[in-house]
Amino acid sequence: MVGIRLKSVTKTFLSKENRIIRAVEDVSFHAQRGKITTLLGPTGSGKTTILRLIGGLETPDSGEIIFNSPVDDKKLGYVTQYDTLFPWKRIGENIGLPLRLRGERPDQLKARVGEIARMVGLEGVTDLYPYEVSGGMIQRAAIGRLIASDAGIWLMDEPFSSLDEKTRHRLQDILLSLVTKRGVTVVFVTHSIDEAVYLSDRVVILSSSPGRVVDLLDLEDERPRDRLSTRYGEIMERLRMNLEEVLKG
């Protein structure tokens, strides 16, 4: 089932020198419910702009963004590569903030936070503050807060890019498990070809500024995907060649 559909979306900005900058132009693709759609492209290809357009933080100059999900699934969650936790709140309080805002009773909130903490591997650290834990744990908490929000659409802007390889791979597996269990629509931004191949059901390849869709690649390979397999290497090479062509202009 299609969760989000972009139809001929264009967005421009005005620079400090009053020049018109075309961030994305005539972008069309769809993201399916229960799947991960990844935006892959060079710096300046409009990946973050597309996320902000989907999230309602920017308005397209032309085109449409259509949400085909049920009403309850139209809530949006947003995770970036940066630490977005409240530093004065404990990890558990950060995870449980959406529940608290919805008026959950204290006993229900505590139980739910504990359940979510187990899902994302944060047992035993919910009473700590963000400055007391690693970057990987901070991103786990951010994903936990997404779960607590009951958002049906997850917008993820390079959430694992600043993490070490081992932690990044672990969080990728956690994300895949959550998407399968919860059936959310994920639009994921990355610069990493490996991450795109490992996570994605669909890869949208974008050109340099202005960002245009230059290729769509649907991946139906079973999970978990073997990074050492011939098939994995072939997909990596196809995406690498596409990006090289994009950079050549």
Structure confidence by residue, pLDDT tens digits, 14-66: 888 888 889 999 999 999 999 999 999 988 899 999 999 999 999 999 999 99
Checking if the pLDDT of 187 tops 60, the result is yes
Angstrom distances, CA of residue 234 to CA of 113, 228, 229, 237: 41, 11, 9, 5
In terms of pLDDT, which residue wins out, 199 or 245? Answer: 199
Encoded tokens for 196: 């795109």
Mean pLDDT of 94-103: 92
> What pLDDT score was predicted for residue 81?
86
The three-class DSSP label of residue 177 is helix
Strand order in the sheet with 153-157: 76-80, 153-157, 185-190, 36-40, 202-206, 213-218
Checking if the pLDDT of 83 tops 80, the result is no
> What pLDDT score was predicted for residue 244?
84
> What pLDDT score was predicted for residue 32?
93
Checking if the pLDDT of 72 tops 60, the result is no
The pLDDT confidence band at residue 70, using thresholds 50, 70 and 90, is low
Say how far apart CA 234 and CA 193 lie, in whole Å.
12
Domain residue ranges of the chain, discontinuous segments joined by +: 2-75+154-248, 85-150
The pLDDT confidence band at residue 211, using thresholds 50, 70 and 90, is very high
> What pLDDT score was predicted for residue 207?
92
Q: In this structure, which CATH number among 3.40.50.720, 3.40.50.300, 3.10.450.30, 3.40.50.2000 belongs to the domain 2-75+154-248?
A: 3.40.50.300
Strand order in the sheet with 2-14: 20-32, 2-14, 62-67
Q: Which long-range contacts (CB under 8 A, 24 or more apart) does 55-60 make?
A: 55/155, 58/11, 60/9, 60/10, 60/11
> What pLDDT score was predicted for residue 74?
60
Q: Report the predicted TM-score, pTM, of the whole model to 2 decimal places.
A: 0.91
Checking if the pLDDT of 8 tops 90, the result is yes
pLDDT digits (tens, 9 = 90+) for 232-245: 999 999 898 888 88
Burial 115-125 (b: 16+ CB within 10 A, else e): ebbebbbbeeb
> What pLDDT score was predicted for residue 25?
96
Q: Where are the alpha helices (DSSP H) in the chain?
A: 47-54, 91-101, 106-119, 135-149, 165-182, 193-199, 230-248
The chain-wide mean pLDDT, for the chain, equals 91
Query: For residue 126, how many other CB atoms are within 10 A of its CB?
Result: 20
Say how far apart CA 40 and CA 145 lie, in whole Å.
25
Say how far apart CA 112 and CA 185 lie, in whole Å.
22
The pLDDT confidence band at residue 221, using thresholds 50, 70 and 90, is confident
> What pLDDT score was predicted for residue 214?
93
**Count of residues in the chain:** 249
> What pLDDT score was predicted for residue 16?
82
Encoded tokens for 90: 């404990």
pLDDT digits (tens, 9 = 90+) for 100-130: 998 889 889 999 999 999 999 999 999 999 9
- Name the residue type at position 89: K
Integer-rounded Cα radius of gyration of the chain? 19
